[in-house]
A and B are shown apart, each in its own frame.
Chain A
Amino acid sequence: MTSAFTSFYRSLTRHKLFAALNIGGLALGIAVFLVLSLFVRFETGFDRWIPGADQLYVVQETYHMPGYPETPSPYTMGNELLQLRADYPQLQGARIAQMGATVRQGSSNTREAMAAVDPNFFALMRLPVVAGDPTRTLADPDGLVLTQRAATSYFGPKSPIGRSLTVIANGTTYTYRVGAVIADMRKDQSYTSELFVPLVASRFANEWFDHWGSTSLVTLLRFPDRAAARQFEGELARFAARRVFGDDIKKGQWEQSLRPLVDNHLYAASDRAVVTTLGAVGVLTLLIAIVNYINLATARAGLRAREVAVRKVLGGTRRSLIRQFMIEAMLTVALSALIGLALTEIALPLVNAAGGMSLHLTYVGTDSVLLLLVPLILLVGMIAGLYPAAVLAGFRPAAVLAAARAPGGGRAGARVRAGLVIVQFAVAIAFAIGTTVMLAQANHVRNADLGFRRDGLYVVRSLNSGSILPEQKRALLRTFAALPGVSHVTLAQNAPGDQSVTNFSSIYQPGMQGIRSPSLMDVRIGEGYFDTFGARLIAGRQLDPSRPSDDMAQHVKGSTPAFNTVINRTAVGLLGFASPQAAIGKQVDGNGMMTIIGVVDDLRFRGPREAIAGTFYRYDSRPLNDAFITIRYSGDPQKMADAVEASWKRIVPTEPFEGRTIEENLYKAYYEQDTRRGRLFTMGAVLAIAIGCIGLYGLAAFDTTRRIKEIGIRKALGASTRDVLQLLVGKFLRPVLFANLIAWPLAWVAMQRWLSTFDDRIGLSPAYFLLASAIAVLIAVATVIGQSWRVARAEPARALRYE
C-alpha cells in the first residue's frame, strides 16, 4: 500500500503536465457538474421543503377563445372558494391575495409585499413559525403575521408580539396587531410576502371580486393524495356547469383544473426546458471531463509501459499491477473531487450573483454533496483505472521493450480514444452552437423593434397604492411635463414591462358574433399615450382629447352614438379586416358599440416570449386608477430620475416613490431570467469546451511524444515540417470535424425547440452552426499545433535517438 502511494506521488510529479491536465480537467468538470446540479435542485425544489406541500393544489383557469392566450393562469375569482365550500363542505382550502402595502412609522413610509389570506392559510401552507400562532392571529380581522426580517426591521430585537403596526393598503389606513412571526421567505418559494393579514372582503374585495372571469387571487386546495385531487378535477367541470357558465362565459370557452403546488415554479414548458438543458450541460460537462480523464489516463499508461514491463520482469503479478493502477486512479480522482469541491465553493458566490440564486453546498445530512461525490469518485476511479490497468497489465514485456513506437494501447486503444474525442467535441460544439444562438437571440431581443422607442422613457410605478387622489395625479402629470428635457407624459393602465389591469373582451363586427369574435385586450389610456411611446400610426387618426366622442368620461353607458377606439395591427387581422385602412370608420360590438378611428403598429410591452395580443385602446380624461405614468425625456437618465422623485415627494409625501427607466423595467419583468440562465449556460458551455480542449491538448501532447521517433523517420524520408504538421494536426482534426456531424443535428433540434418558446425570435441560420464549428476547429488546431510544431521542427537525428 505504501508503495502504491509512493508510486502515485511519483507518477504525479514525474509527468507534471499530464497530472495537471488530468486532475485539473476532472476537477473543473466536477465543479461545473456540482454547480449546475445545485441549480437544478434549487429550481426543482421549489415549495417541496414545505411540510405537506405535495398535498396542496392551485386552482388554475384556461380560456379557449381566439386571440386569448391558452396558457393556464393560476388565479381565480375572489369568492370561488366560498362557492366551492358551499357545494363541497368537506373541501379544505385557503386563499392568498398578494399586493403591495405601505408601512408607516412616524414620518417614514416603507413599501412592503403584503398578502391577504384566509385564517387557515398557515394550516395548509405550513411555513416554519418563529413565535406565536399564525392561525389564531389571523382569526382576528386586525391580526398580523410578520416575517422575522419585517419584525426586526420594525420592532428591533425585542419581541413584536402584541405590538401594532400602521399599514396603508388600497388607500385606507389600518392598524394591525402582530400575533405571530414566521421564518424569512426563501428564494425557492412560490408564494411569498413579508406581511400576512386576514382576507377581509370589505377591505380587499374590489368591484370584480365576485365576478366569474375575473382573477383576483390564488385559491389553494388540499387533498390527501393525487388520486383525490384528480377526482376533484372532474368535479370542477360539473361545478362550472352549475355556477359559472351563462351569458358572460360559455361552455367550452373556459375550464378549471388543478396544478400541484410543487409543480408551480416550473409549470411553463420553456422553464422546464431551460432547467433540463442546464442539467444536461452539467452532466455532459462531467461526462466530457470523465472521458478526458480516461483518455489521458489510458494514453499516459502507455508511457509507463516500460515501468510495467520491468516490474513484470522482476516478478510483479498481473493482480498486483492492476491493484497499483486502481489505487492510483482512485487517489487521482479523489484529489480531483477535492479540488472540484474547492472550485465550487469559490464559484458559488459568483454564480449566485450572476444567476440571482442562493445556491450553497451542504456537507452533512440527506442533502450532503458527499452522497453525490463518493459514488462519483468510486465510479470514475473504477472506469479510469480499470482500462489502463487491464491494458498495461496485459502488455507482453518483451514486445514492449522491443517496440519502435511507445505502446499506446494498440490500434483498438487509438480507435477508442478517437471515438471519445468525437463524443467530447460533439458535445462541446453543440454547446458552442447553443451559446451562439442564445447570444444572437439575446442580442435580437435587446435591439428588436418593439413598436416604440425604448430609450428616453421613464416609468413611475408607485401610483397603484389606491391612496393617491385624482388631483395629485393631475398635479404629477403637470409637474413632470414641466421638468426640463421632458417632451411627453402620459397616464395609462400599461407601460412596457407593466400592466395593472388586464381585461379581454370579445369584440366582433356586427353580425359576426360567435363566428369571428376574438378576445381583444382592453387598454385604457390617458392623453399623449401614443406620442409618449413614439408609436407608429398606420391608418386613421389618434384619439383626440378635445372630441367628446373620443373620451370615455363623456360617454354615457348604453347610449348612442358609439365611442371611438384605436386598435393595433394584430387586432385588424383578428377582426377580419383586409387592411388597416379598411378598418377605419368601421363599427365593432361586444363592449358597447365602438368606432375604429385609427390603427397603430403593434406595441410589444410584454416579453419576447409572449405573443402580442390584439388590443383596443380607449381614451379616458379622468385620472385612471391602477395606472402608470410614463415620461418621454432627453438627457441624463439619473438626473431625470432624481427630478421625478423630488417632484413626487413634494406632491405625494405620504407614499413611497418607485420609478425606473423602461429598459430596467423590461429587464426586470422579462429579460432578467433569460439573461441569468443564458449566463449560466454560457459559463457551462465555455467550461465544457475548455475541458474538451484540455483533453485534446493532453492527448496531442501524449501522441506527439509517442510519435517523436516516427516523425524522425518520416523526416529522414523527406517529409517537410509542413507535411509533419499536416499529419499531426490532421489526425486530431478528423475526429473534431466528424464531431460536427453529430453536433449539428443535436443543436438544431435543441435550439429550434428553445427558440420556439419565443414569439419574437431569430431564424435558425446555418451561420451560427458554421461560426461555432469554425471556432471549435480553430481552438482545436490552436491546441494541437503548439506541440506538433515543436516536434515537427526538431532535427530528425535527435528524434531518431529518442527513446
Chain B
Amino acid sequence: MIELNAIHRAYRSDEVETTALADIDLSVQAGEFVAIMGPSGCGKSTLLNILGTIDRPTSGTYLFEGEDIAKAPEAQLAKLRRDRLGFVFQSFNLIDELTIAENVALALAYRSMPAREKRERVDAAMDRVGIAHRRNHHPHQLSGGQQQRAAIARAIVGEPKLILADEPTGNLDTENGAQVMDILTRLNADGATIVMVTHSPAHADIARRTVHMLDGRILSAVRRAA
C-alpha cells in the first residue's frame, strides 16, 4: 500500500538546516498495524505527517497504492486525504466552535454525498466509538478520553484505507488509553491499515510491527507474527 524510498526532510531556518528525516525507506502493506517509536525529536511525527501528505519530503519518492505522490499537486493531495486517509492527533484537534457531531461530520464536509447519508455515517461512526450520547456537546465539555474517541470517529467516518494516529493516547490516562487502543485494534481487525506514533511500549506491542527511530533514521523494524 505504502512505499517510501530515500525520503529526506530538512527544515531550513535562516542559516541552520535541520535534518528531520534522513534516507527513510519504509513499506506498509494493506491491513497492517504499524507502530513508530522513538525519543522526542527523532522525526516520528514528521514521518507521520509525510505519510499523511500534510507535509512534503525534501527528496525521495512516496508511492501510495502504486502512485508517486511526493510531488503531486496540492489539489490531488487534498482529494487523497479526503477519500483515503484518516487522522488522529495527540491533542485531538477538535474545533471548539463546533459540536461533536459537527466535528465528526467535518471529515465528510468536502465530499459530495447526500446529507442523509452523511448523517447516517456520522451516527454510525459515533456509535462505533461510544460517543453518540455526546453528539450535541462542545469539545471543552468532554473528558480527554471522550474527545479522543470523537477524534477517532472523525478519522473513520470517511471509511479511510489508512488511519494515521499521532500519539493518540499521549494525553490520556491509562484507562482511556486502553479504550482508544481497543477501538484501533478493532478497526484494524475490520480491515483498516493503521500507522501509529507512540511512546508507550505497551501500546506499541498491540501493533503487529514496530519501527524504531532515532535522529531521523529508522533503526530497526520488529515484526511479530499475526
Name A residues whose Cβ lies closer than 8 Å to a Cβ of B.
399, 402-405, 411, 709-710, 712-723, 793, 795-798, 800
Chain B residues near A796 (CB, 8 Å)? 54-55
In the complex, A718 Cα to B92 Cα: how many Å? 17
Q: Assess the A793–B93 pair: CB atoms within 8 A.
A: no
| Chain A proximity of B72: nearest CB distance (Å) | 13
Q: Assess the B83–A718 pair: CB atoms within 8 A.
A: yes
Chain A residues near B79 (CB, 8 Å)? 718, 720
Interface centre among B80, B94, B106 (most CB of A within 10 A): B106
Q: Assess the A404–B96 pair: CB atoms within 8 A.
A: yes
Q: Assess the A720–B110 pair: CB atoms within 8 A.
A: yes
Residue in A closest to B98 when the chains form the complex, CB atoms: A710
Question: Given the known A-B contacts A715-B54, A796-B54, are A721 and B78 also in contact in the complex, defined by CB atoms under 8 Å?
Answer: yes
Residue in B closest to A727 when the chains form the complex, CB atoms: B109
- Dominant secondary structure of chain A at its interface with chain B: helix
In the complex, A402 Cα to B158 Cα: how many Å? 28
Q: Assess the A719–B78 pair: CB atoms within 8 A.
A: yes
Q: Which 7 A/B pairs are nearest by Cβ-Cβ distance?
A: A718-B82, A720-B78, A797-B55, A796-B54, A797-B49, A718-B81, A797-B54
Chain A residues near B173 (CB, 8 Å)? none
In the complex, A798 Cα to B12 Cα: how many Å? 13
Q: Assess the B54–A405 pair: CB atoms within 8 A.
A: no
Is B140 in contact with chain A by the CB < 8 A criterion? yes
Is B154 in contact with chain A by the CB < 8 A criterion? yes
Residue in A closest to B154 when the chains form the complex, CB atoms: A717
In the complex, A722 Cα to B76 Cα: how many Å? 12
Q: Assess the A403–B140 pair: CB atoms within 8 A.
A: yes
Q: Assess the B139–A717 pair: CB atoms within 8 A.
A: no
Binary contact track B52-91/A, C-beta < 8 Å → 1, others 0: 1011100000000000000000110011111101010101
Is B30 in contact with chain A by the CB < 8 A criterion? no
Q: Assess the A795–B55 pair: CB atoms within 8 A.
A: yes
Q: Assess the A800–B54 pair: CB atoms within 8 A.
A: yes
Q: Assess the B97–A720 pair: CB atoms within 8 A.
A: no
In the complex, A404 Cα to B150 Cα: how many Å? 15
Q: Assess the B96–A723 pair: CB atoms within 8 A.
A: no
In the complex, A403 Cα to B92 Cα: how many Å? 11
Is B95 in contact with chain A by the CB < 8 A criterion? yes
In the complex, A793 Cα to B78 Cα: how many Å? 11
Chain A residues near B97 (CB, 8 Å)? 405, 411
Q: How many A-B residue pairs have CB under 8 A?
A: 81
In the complex, A716 Cα to B109 Cα: how many Å? 12
Chain B residues near A712 (CB, 8 Å)? 54, 93
Question: Given the known A-B contacts A405-B97, A716-B81, A719-B78, are A795 and B87 also in contact in the complex, defined by CB atoms under 8 Å?
Answer: no
Q: Assess the B110–A723 pair: CB atoms within 8 A.
A: yes
Give the contacts of B21-59 with A (CB-CB under 8 A). 46, 49, 52, 54-56
Question: Given the known A-B contacts A399-B140, A404-B95, A717-B87, are A795 and B110 also in contact in the complex, defined by CB atoms under 8 Å?
Answer: no
| Chain B proximity of A403: nearest CB distance (Å) | 6
Residue in A closest to B85 when the chains form the complex, CB atoms: A718
| Chain B proximity of A710: nearest CB distance (Å) | 5
Question: Given the known A-B contacts A716-B54, A797-B55, are A721 and B82 also in contact in the complex, defined by CB atoms under 8 Å?
Answer: no
Q: Assess the B109–A719 pair: CB atoms within 8 A.
A: yes
Is B196 in contact with chain A by the CB < 8 A criterion? no
In the complex, A723 Cα to B82 Cα: how many Å? 12
Interface centre among A402, A715, A716, A797 (most CB of B within 10 A): A716
Range class of the B interface residue count = 20 to 34
| Chain A proximity of B148: nearest CB distance (Å) | 13
Is B197 in contact with chain A by the CB < 8 A criterion? no
Q: Assess the A717–B81 pair: CB atoms within 8 A.
A: yes
- Residue from the list B93, B139, B154, B158 in contact with A709, Cβ < 8 A: B93
Is B107 in contact with chain A by the CB < 8 A criterion? yes
Q: Assess the A717–B82 pair: CB atoms within 8 A.
A: yes
Question: Given the known A-B contacts A712-B54, A795-B54, are A719 and B110 also in contact in the complex, defined by CB atoms under 8 Å?
Answer: yes
Q: Assess the B139–A404 pair: CB atoms within 8 A.
A: yes
Chain B residues near A411 (CB, 8 Å)? 97
Q: Assess the A403–B75 pair: CB atoms within 8 A.
A: no
Q: Assess the A795–B89 pair: CB atoms within 8 A.
A: no
A403-B140, A716-B52, A716-B54 known, 15 other contacts, Cβ within 8 Å: A404-B92, A404-B93, A404-B94, A404-B96, A709-B93, A712-B93, A718-B78, A718-B79, A719-B109, A720-B110, A795-B54, A795-B56, A796-B54, A796-B55, A797-B46
Residue in B closest to A707 when the chains form the complex, CB atoms: B95
Chain B residues near A716 (CB, 8 Å)? 52, 54, 81, 87, 93
Chain A residues near B91 (CB, 8 Å)? 404
Residue in A closest to B83 when the chains form the complex, CB atoms: A718
In the complex, A399 Cα to B140 Cα: how many Å? 9
Q: Assess the B107–A717 pair: CB atoms within 8 A.
A: yes
**Can you show 21 pairs from A to B with CB atoms below 8 A apart?**
A404-B91, A404-B93, A404-B96, A712-B93, A714-B106, A716-B81, A716-B93, A717-B81, A717-B106, A717-B154, A718-B82, A718-B83, A718-B110, A718-B158, A720-B79, A720-B82, A720-B110, A722-B75, A795-B54, A798-B55, A800-B93
In the complex, A716 Cα to B93 Cα: how many Å? 11
Chain A residues near B110 (CB, 8 Å)? 717-720, 723
In the complex, A721 Cα to B110 Cα: how many Å? 11
Residue in B closest to A709 when the chains form the complex, CB atoms: B93
| Chain B proximity of A301: nearest CB distance (Å) | 18
| Chain B proximity of A587: nearest CB distance (Å) | 83
Residue in B closest to A799 when the chains form the complex, CB atoms: B54
Q: Assess the A403–B83 pair: CB atoms within 8 A.
A: no
Chain B residues near A714 (CB, 8 Å)? 106, 109
Q: Assess the A721–B74 pair: CB atoms within 8 A.
A: yes
Give the contacts of B102-135 with A (CB-CB under 8 A). 106-107, 109-111
Chain A residues near B80 (CB, 8 Å)? 718
Residue in A closest to B158 when the chains form the complex, CB atoms: A718
Interface centre among B78, B85, B95, B96 (most CB of A within 10 A): B78
Chain A residues near B49 (CB, 8 Å)? 797
Chain B residues near A715 (CB, 8 Å)? 54, 78, 81
| Chain B proximity of A416: nearest CB distance (Å) | 15
Chain B residues near A723 (CB, 8 Å)? 78, 110
Question: Given the known A-B contacts A399-B140, A403-B140, A712-B54, are A720 and B94 also in contact in the complex, defined by CB atoms under 8 Å?
Answer: no
Interface centre among B75, B82, B83 (most CB of A within 10 A): B82
Q: Assess the A713–B95 pair: CB atoms within 8 A.
A: yes
Chain A residues near B107 (CB, 8 Å)? 717-718
In the complex, A795 Cα to B81 Cα: how many Å? 13
In the complex, A712 Cα to B158 Cα: how many Å? 18
| Chain B proximity of A730: nearest CB distance (Å) | 13
Chain A residues near B54 (CB, 8 Å)? 712, 715-716, 795-797, 800
